[in-house]
């Protein structure tokens, strides 16, 4: 294997580095900030992994719901209107993917990835980092709960251990927590990672394996000659790696453009609010399904995350959207103290129209590869995605069919 330079120290880049190193490559990771720092989308997310939440963003009914939400400033969805051809092209392809057939295809691929990633994480992580205590999916309205319970048998048939919680079961699972909901489902394979600790621990493992970690180093340019990347210009000097992997999250599109590649990738901003020791908090992760808010217990902290904003590469925090998240949480958990020293963060999810990442060689280049576009469920996709990338670069038969992730797919 040639030596490999991985650009990006988020979960996608770190898992590529992990499997490339295990395959025998000399690996360097270049990260513009500190690894695990707040600039990265892998820093402040809600950490859900496991088999829940494998649905793509593009599903039937999403365009109509999105239009309704656009009119509500505290809703979980927003598009900043602007004449941006890349955004318009992305939305056009996203809209085309909102069919039963396309959503079903993407769901099967994403679920398979999440199942394989969970198996990897179970092997790799200790109990302090990965908590696998099941997950509650809560519904505020009777209609929402009714619709969801009708999907349970289909989920079971796909291998997701989802079931309806009987009245009284929720209070046994979460004693002392007051829920104002119409019903809930339960997935016993619900699990979550403690972030950002997981990211910094993975980086420490990599350092122990001999991976070089260049932090606070910005990749400024890719110099190409014919079908090869000849040189990588960084803020700390030039590098001449054998192979380059772009795993730069939402920034991947701009970097790939320097080599003339066009990625169908949009940043989708989300927010999280982390509360210090709030009273009335659940012990398990809870998804407030209709309000699109995830709740994750992190020891003495509780993280609330949600919102999807297509506002470009902008990480400013909108007070109204954060209030929307807090309001949704209070509606479902009226006794939870949401004033407990909140810490607010925003991150950019790297989203493709089909919710599948780009993984593999970036044709026509011989020594440039992609591992980006992990979207709204990157923690659940990155472990197996890193393994797939390493297998492809090593010329091994991959565990997964790489076709759905190829650069140049048309998002039909
Ligand atoms: C509110 C919120 C909640 C979420 N909850 C979940 C969840 O529960 N479960 C889940 O699976 N996913 C979740 N996600 C999504 C998940 O966080 C992302 O899919 C994942 O972090 C993407 O990882 P990444 O490595 O691709 O990108 P990033 O983590 O953003 O890493 C990319 C890195 O590349 C670096 N970089 C970029 N350009 C350069 C350059 N030119 N030179 C050097 N370095 C560069 C950046 O600084 C960054 O650190 C959530 C996201 C948000 C916003």
Q: Which of 376, 382, 383, 385 to mutate to test the pocket of ligand 1 (most atoms within 8 A of CB)?
A: 376
Give residue 323's pLDDT. 93
Give residue 74's pLDDT. 77
Identify the residue whose C-alpha is closest to ligand 1 atom 19.
Answer: 378
User: Does residue 267 contact residue 391 with C-beta atoms inside 8 Å?
Assistant: no
Is the pLDDT at 60 greater than 90, yes or no? Answer: yes
Two structure tokens written together for 187: 């997935």
Question: Ligand 1: residues within 6 Å at CB?
Answer: 7-13, 30-33, 39-42, 45-49, 218-219, 247-249, 251, 255, 270-272, 294, 305, 347, 349-350, 372, 374-380
Is the pLDDT at 146 greater than 90, yes or no? Answer: yes
Residue 336 CA to ligand 1 center (angstroms) comes to: 29
- Taking only the tens place, the pLDDT of each residue in 64-112 is 988 888 878 778 899 988 999 999 999 999 999 999 999 999 999 999 9
pLDDT tier at 233 (50, 70, 90 boundaries)? very high
Phi first, then psi: give them for residue 256, nearest 5 degrees.
-65, -35
Which residues are CB-contacts of 166 (< 8 A; sequence separation ≥ 6)? none
Compute the distance between CA of residue 354 and CA of residue 114 in angstroms, rounded to an integer. Answer: 16
Mean pLDDT value across residues 10-31: 98
Give residue 340's pLDDT. 81
Give residue 8's pLDDT. 98
Nearest to 289 by CA among 148, 388, 403: 148
Give residue 277's pLDDT. 85
As a whole number of Å, the CA-based R_g of the chain is 21
Domains contained in the chain, CATH given? 4-42+197-264+354-405 (3.50.50.60), 59-98+130-190+266-351 (3.30.9.10)
Q: Which atom of ligand 1 is nearest to the CA of 272?
A: 1
Nearest to 278 by CA among 359, 220, 334, 351: 334
Identify the residue whose C-alpha is closest to ligand 1 atom 16.
Answer: 378
Q: What is the mean pLDDT of the chain?
A: 96
Give residue 387's pLDDT. 98
């Amino acid at each position: 294997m040639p030596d490999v330079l991985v650009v990006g120290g988020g979960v996608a880049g770190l898992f590529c580095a992990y499997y490339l190193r295990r395959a025998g490559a000399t690996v360097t990771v270049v990260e513009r900030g500190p690894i695990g720092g707040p600039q990265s989308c892998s820093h402040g997310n809600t950490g859900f992994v496991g088999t829940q939440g494998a649905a793509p963003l593009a599903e039937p009914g999403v365009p109509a719901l999105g239009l309704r939400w656009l009119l509500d400033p505290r809703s979980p969805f927003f598009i900043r209107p602007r004449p941006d051809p890349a955004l318009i092209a992305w939305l056009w392809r996203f809209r085309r993917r909102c069919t039963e057939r396309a959503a079903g295809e993407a769901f099967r691929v994403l679920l398979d990835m999440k199942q394989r990633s969970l198996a990897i994480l179970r092997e790799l992580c200790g109990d302090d980092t990965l908590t696998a205590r099941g997950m509650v999916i809560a519904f505020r309205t009777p209609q929402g709960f009714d619709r969801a319970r009708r999907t349970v048998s289909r989920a079971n048939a796909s291998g997701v251990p989802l079931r309806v919680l009987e009245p009284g079961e929720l209070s046994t699972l979460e004693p002392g927590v007051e829920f104002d909901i119409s019903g809930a489902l339960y997935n016993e394979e619900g699990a979550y990672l403690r972030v950002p600790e997981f990211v910094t621990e993975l980086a420490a493992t990599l350092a122990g394996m001999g991976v070089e970690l260049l932090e606070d180093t910005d990749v400024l340019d890719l110099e190409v000659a014919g079908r090869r990347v000849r040189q990588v210009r960084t803020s700390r000097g030039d590098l001449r790696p054998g192979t380059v992997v772009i795993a730069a999250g939402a920034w991947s599109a701009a970097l790939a453009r320097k080599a003339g590649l066009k990625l169908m990738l949009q940043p989708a901003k989300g927010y999280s609010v982390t509360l210090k020791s709030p009273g009335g908090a659940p012990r398990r992760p809870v998804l407030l399904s209709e309000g699109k808010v995830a709740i994750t217990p992190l020891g003495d902290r509780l993280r609330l995350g949600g919102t999807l904003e297509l506002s470009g590469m902008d990480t400013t925090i909108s007070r109204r959207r954060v209030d929307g998240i807090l309001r949704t949480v209070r509606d479902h958990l009226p006794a939870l103290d949401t004033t407990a020293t909140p810490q607010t963060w925003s991150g950019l999810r790297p989203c493709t129209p089909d919710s599948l990442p780009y993984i593999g060689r970036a044709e026509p280049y011989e020594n440039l590869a992609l591992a980006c576009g992990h979207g709204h469920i990157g923690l659940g996709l990155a472990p197996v995605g890193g393994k797939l990338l390493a297998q492809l670069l090593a010329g091994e038969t991959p565990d997964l069919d790489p076709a759905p992730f190829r650069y140049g797919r048309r998002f039909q």
